[in-house]
């Protein structure tokens, strides 16, 4: 075979590989739904590459809600392994512009936990409904969230929802309506900043007692030196703030999250690749 012919074949293969890569890419699209007459809009994230039947994860952002930063976090967690719904629990017309607006929106739902639980369950239902238009395996569903999103996920667990697993990252732990004894059905991993000033040791003890009484399969990890927002790079690194990224502990937290879901989804069949 001539050198010219070999070059042409190699060039053709490169073009085909590039085309395949272009077609198998990360997809994002808005997903709309309605609950109690109110409109919501989340974002579905997945990669066309990888398994054709991927587990699904509901991701609840921090108190800033659905925004480009939240979608980027979802992309990183989704990788080639998961279909992720960035959940809107505020409403389509509520997109906080600053911490004041975010505090008001999150505070309203913290003050109405039944409403928050209902919105979380709806987000799970909406994710399941994407099976026909995405590579989603509805038999393997979990949830995770950051800060206020962690609080939201914990409320879903307390409600008795039956998911394959749930993870909270630097979420609030307090409960206005703790889980009733023997009612917790979702395995839980809590990733907590040991130095987080917004979470007291009393909060930790109460949650652990609550989950034990609830019959939960729970794990609680205190990450030494980490404060609130430790898993979010856009939180910055102001040493005087209780909300800052921890470059040492964040990668560990994400590995724990990945291992937890890999274990949980393998337990119900299919498994996922560990990154």
> Residues 162-204: pLDDT tens digits?
999 999 999 999 999 999 999 999 999 999 999 999 999 999 9
pLDDT at position 272: 54
Please indicate, yes or no, if residue 2 is contained in any of the structural domains. Answer: no
8 and 14 Cβ atoms separated by less than 8 Å? no
Tokens of 98: 């600053």
| Domain coverage including residue 238 | 26-267
Q: Is the pTM of this model over 0.75?
A: yes
Residue 6 lies in a domain: no
- Would residue 247 count as lying in a domain? yes
Flag whether 153 is in a domain. Answer: yes
Q: Answer whether residue 11 is part of any domain.
A: no
Residue 244 located in a structural domain:
yes
Q: Which residues contact 228 (CB under 8 A, 6 or more apart)?
A: 147, 170, 193, 196, 197, 198, 199, 242, 243, 244
For residue 111, the domain's CATH number is 3.40.50.1820
- Three-state SS across the chain? CCHHHHHHHHHHHHHHHHHHHHHCCEEEEEEEEEECCEEEEEEEEEECCCCCCEEEEEEECCCCCCCHHHHHHHHHHHCCCCEEEECCCCCCCCCCCCHHHHHHHHHHHHCCHHHHHHHHHHHHHHHHHHHHHCCEEEEEEEEEEECHHHHHHHHHHHCCCCCCEEEEECCCCCCCCCCCCCCCCCCEEEEEECCCCCCCHHHHHHHHHHHHHCCCCEEEEEECCCCECCCCHHHCCCCCCCECCCCCHHHHHHHHHHHHHHHHHHHCCCCCCCC
**Domain total of the chain:** 1
Q: What is the C-alpha separation between 76 and 43, in angstroms, rounded?
A: 14
The 10 Å CB-count burial string (b at 16+, else e) for 189-221 is bbbbbbbbebbeeebbeebeebbeebebebeee
Residue 13 lies in a domain: no
Q: Is residue 241 part of a domain?
A: yes
For the chain, the distance separating the N- and C-terminal CA atoms, rounded to the nearest angstrom, is: 41
Taking 70 as the pLDDT cut, the residues of the chain under it are: 1-24, 270-275
């Amino acid at each position: 075979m001539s050198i010219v012919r070999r070059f042409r074949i190699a060039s053709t293969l490169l073009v085909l590989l590039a085309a395949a890569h272009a077609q198998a890419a990360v997809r994002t699209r808005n997903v709309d739904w309605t609950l109690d007459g109110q409109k919501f809009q989340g974002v579905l994230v997945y990669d066309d590459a990888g398994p054709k039947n991927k587990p699904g994860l509901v991701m609840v952002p921090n108190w800033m809600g659905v925004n480009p930063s939240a979608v980027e976090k979802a992309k990183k967690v989704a990788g080639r392994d998961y279909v992720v719904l960035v959940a809107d629990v505020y409403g389509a017309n509520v997109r906080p512009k600053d911490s004041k607006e975010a505090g008001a929106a999150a505070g309203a739902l913290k003050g109405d936990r039944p409403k928050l639980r209902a919105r979380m369950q709806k987000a799970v239902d909406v994710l399941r409904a994407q099976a026909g238009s995405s590579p989603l395996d509805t038999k393997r569903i979990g949830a995770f969230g950051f800060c206020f999103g962690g609080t939201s996920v914990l409320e879903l667990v307390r409600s008795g929802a039956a998911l394959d697993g749930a993870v909270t990252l630097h979420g609030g732990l307090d409960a206005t309506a703790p889980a009733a004894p023997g009612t917790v059905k979702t395995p839980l991993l809590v990733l907590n900043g040991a130095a987080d000033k917004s979470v007291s040791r009393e909060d930790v003890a109460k949650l652990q007692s609550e989950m034990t009484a609830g019959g939960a399969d729970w794990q609680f990890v205190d990450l030494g030196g980490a404060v609130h927002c430790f898993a979010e790079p856009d939180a910055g690194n102001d040493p005087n703030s209780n909300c800052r990224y921890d470059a040492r502990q964040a990668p560990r937290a994400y590995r724990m999250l990945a291992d937890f879901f890999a274990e949980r989804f393998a337990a119900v069949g299919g498994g996922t690749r560990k990154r």
